[in-house]
Structure 1
Amino acid sequence: MDIIGTSLSRDGYLLTEVGAPATAGETGTLSFTIRDADGTPVTAFAQSHGRALHLIVVRTDGTGYRHLHPELDAASGVWSTTVTWDAAGSYRLFADATPLGADGVTLTRTIDVEGDLRPAKHRGERRHVTVDGIEVHLDGTLRTGDGGVLTATVSEHGHPVQRLEPYLGAYGHLVALREGDLAYLHVHALGETPAAGDLSGPEVAFHASAPTAGRYFLFLDFQVDGRVRTASFVVEASGAAPTATADHHEHHAVHTH
């Protein structure tokens, strides 16, 4: 199993140092550049899931998750977006992009935010969460090897939600980060690509394979009533199943750094 999200370079591409607000509560610009093997800023990218670049930001203790889409200055190659840090700590940034004519890469950097640091403590699995009154329950087993299927069920006031909307070409996007080194796995929903205006629910299924057994932070982005929400889970991954039974017709991306 390839392990990704642990290096600032890949296939000759490098994520430069990141400029960002230095203190919790401060609003400012987060910016960076992707350079090629010659040190030249990359200014042309292919779109993936409706965007030229996906930026995942999370504190190293698994809190403060954000899925951002910075804007590219095509003249300079600088990506930028406005951020305000909610809390102090070390944050890992994952820039997921496909330079035009090349394979997709996931590049990472860590930045430190000053302030009163209050690390989170995770005690066991967390598979049921409520986000803005919408409940999400995660079933299934995260395994190594051929992996397994994880199913998120969405409900509201005790009733199944059947108005999940397409978001970036799917009914849900799942990011998994291994506790400790934050090795990165980006998984997309199983099933056909929805068309604009389609609705689904209450379930969204994913095929996922963990690089190793252990604890993982999982973040599910989904859209209901025009608003994107994030459900955050903590899941323990087990070893590979005795027999390989996983369905391999899923659409997902795994890369190494």
Structure 2
Amino acid sequence: MNTPAKLGAYALGLAVVFGGALGIGNAVGAVASPPAAQPHTVHEAPSATPRRPAAAAPASLPGGLQMSESGYTLTPQTTTVPPGEATDFRFTVTGPDGRPLTGYQTQHGKQLHLIVVSRDLGDFQHLHPAKAADGTWSVKLTLPEAGVYRAFADFAPEGGHGLTLGTDLHAAGDYTPRALPEVSRTATVDGYTVELGGELVPGASSALTLTVSKDGKPVTDLQPYLGAYGHLVALRAGDLAYLHVHPDGEPGDGTTAAGPGITFHAEVPSRGDYRLFLDFQHEGVVRTAAFTAHAGQSPAPTATPARPADTAPTPRPAATPEKSGSHGEHTH
């Protein structure tokens, strides 16, 4: 074998072992393409723009911003409702098979919760539609005045996880959007006063306690509503992102008091203003107290910062730093 032939054979061997290091793979690639069953035998030439790893996926959006998610789609029969008139509002949730969904899990006492709010967050309704055998939901809906509203369907399909799908509704006519109410820790409704305790912290779960009183006296005999002593909906001002908020305990568990305080755990995705709507039941009537709350600075990271890449560790054993005797606590 002459010298050029020997060099060619040697280059081919290196390509199989190293996958084209230092350009040898390019030379071999011109001779034969690698078999499909061996995807790692040849590497592509470096690109100025790195590829996104296959496992990387965009972060999930808060609920209610989309009318379709995970194969399920909220489909109203109409999106125009006359203002001030009770209207038979009908809709379906279409499943991944393209058919109206009929199987739902029961959550908070209902298979589906329909939340309808005006886009300026001045009006709020928590409704519970009735489902027909064919999967069509219907409810009497009154949009009090002209404007744009957002409807949220909060549900979980059988065998699936909870979803919140949203769609806009329109009540025709002239209207002027109202400004978001100022941040406040006190709300009054029908002679009841509700005090908001706790802070919204972006990117972290935080406890919110809402304390109910009437005529200056604490209410200690709240009645269960949707499997709890209160139901809280949180919406981000601007895009109306819908946030799931969960109460502590449940009626009859032996530890959860029937007031005056109702504690929830909320996690907001970003800084900014949020509108909170608390439904509570007392003396047989469900009432809604509304607050505007602000989420401020995100919590500081508690992890020890990594050593800069260009700082080499000290080789002397005596230079090993003393370990700290305490660790930061996680907030739940």
Compute the TM-score of the two structures, normalised by the length of structure 2: 0.70
What displacement does 1:240 show? Answer: 2.3
Q: Name the CA distance, whole Å, in 2 between partners of 1:123 and 1:82.
A: 28
Is the counterpart of residue 127 in structure 1 residue 185 in structure 2? Answer: yes
Q: Name the CA distance, whole Å, in 2 between partners of 1:173 and 1:123.
A: 21
Of residues 232, 247, 250, the one that matches 1:193 is 250
Counterpart residue number, 1:105: 163
Counterpart residue number, 1:41: 100
Is the counterpart of residue 82 in structure 1 residue 167 in structure 2? Answer: no
What letter corresponds to residue 138 of structure 1 in structure 2?
A: L
Counterpart residue number, 2:237: 179
Counterpart residue number, 2:78: 19
Question: In structure 2, the residue corresponding to 1:118 is in which secondary structure?
Answer: coil
Cα deviation per residue 1:14-56 (whole Å; 9 max; x = unaligned)?
Answer: 0113436622111111110000122101112111111000111
Residues 82 and 19 (structure 1), Cα distance of their counterparts in 2 relative to 1, 3 Å cut: same
Q: Name the CA distance, whole Å, in 2 between partners of 1:195 and 1:68.
A: 25
Q: Name the CA distance, whole Å, in 2 between partners of 1:126 and 1:46.
A: 36
Determine if contact 1:21/1:29 at 8 Å carries over to the other structure. no
Q: Name the CA distance, whole Å, in 2 between partners of 1:222 and 1:140.
A: 19
What letter corresponds to residue 126 of structure 2 in structure 1?
A: H
Determine if contact 2:278/2:290 at 8 Å carries over to the other structure. yes
Cα deviation per residue 1:88-115 (whole Å; 9 max; x = unaligned)?
Answer: 1111111011111222211110011113
Q: Which runs of 5+ in 2 are unaligned?
A: 1-58, 303-328
Of residues 88, 91, 104, the one that matches 2:149 is 91
Over alpha carbons, which structure has the higher Rg?
2
Is the counterpart of residue 246 in structure 1 residue 305 in structure 2? Answer: no
Is the counterpart of residue 62 in structure 1 residue 147 in structure 2? Answer: no
Cα deviation per residue 1:179-214 (whole Å; 9 max; x = unaligned)?
Answer: 111111021211x22139x96111111111110000
Q: Name the CA distance, whole Å, in 1 between partners of 2:232 and 2:132.
A: 28
Residues 131 and 123 (structure 1), Cα distance of their counterparts in 2 relative to 1, 3 Å cut: closer
Q: Name the CA distance, whole Å, in 1 between partners of 2:163 and 2:181.
A: 33
Question: In structure 2, the residue corresponding to 1:46 is in which secondary structure?
Answer: coil
Compute the TM-score of the two structures, normalised by the length of structure 1: 0.89
Is the counterpart of residue 170 in structure 1 residue 225 in structure 2? Answer: no
Determine if contact 1:148/1:208 at 8 Å carries over to the other structure. yes
Determine if contact 2:150/2:166 at 8 Å carries over to the other structure. yes
Counterpart residue number, 1:141: 199
What displacement does 1:126 show? Answer: 2.4
Residues 245 and 90 (structure 1), Cα distance of their counterparts in 2 relative to 1, 3 Å cut: same
What displacement does 1:116 show? Answer: 3.6
What letter corresponds to residue 121 of structure 2 in structure 1?
A: G
Structure (1 or 2) with the greater helix fraction: 2
Question: In structure 1, the residue corresponding to 2:226 is in which secondary structure?
Answer: coil
Question: In structure 2, the residue corresponding to 1:45 is in which secondary structure?
Answer: coil
What letter corresponds to residue 5 of structure 1 in structure 2?
A: G
Determine if contact 1:172/1:221 at 8 Å carries over to the other structure. yes
Question: In structure 2, the residue corresponding to 1:106 is in which secondary structure?
Answer: strand
What displacement does 1:127 show? Answer: 2.1
Is the counterpart of residue 155 in structure 1 residue 213 in structure 2? Answer: yes
CA RMSD, Structure 1 to Structure 2 (Å): 1.9
Determine if contact 1:20/1:31 at 8 Å carries over to the other structure. no
Q: Please, which moves more after superposition, 121-130 or 41-50?
A: 121-130
What displacement does 1:123 show? Answer: 4.8
Counterpart residue number, 2:290: 232
What letter corresponds to residue 178 of structure 1 in structure 2?
A: R
Counterpart residue number, 1:29: 88
Q: Name the CA distance, whole Å, in 1 between partners of 2:127 and 2:113.
A: 6
Q: Name the CA distance, whole Å, in 1 between partners of 2:191 and 2:239.
A: 32
Determine if contact 1:212/1:239 at 8 Å carries over to the other structure. no
Higher relative contact order, chain-length normalized (CA < 8 Å, sep 6+):
1
Structure (1 or 2) with the greater strand fraction: 1
Runs of 4+ in structure 1 off by over 6 angstroms are none
Determine if contact 2:88/2:139 at 8 Å carries over to the other structure. yes
Is the counterpart of residue 206 in structure 1 residue 264 in structure 2? Answer: yes
Q: Name the CA distance, whole Å, in 2 between partners of 1:102 and 1:148.
A: 27
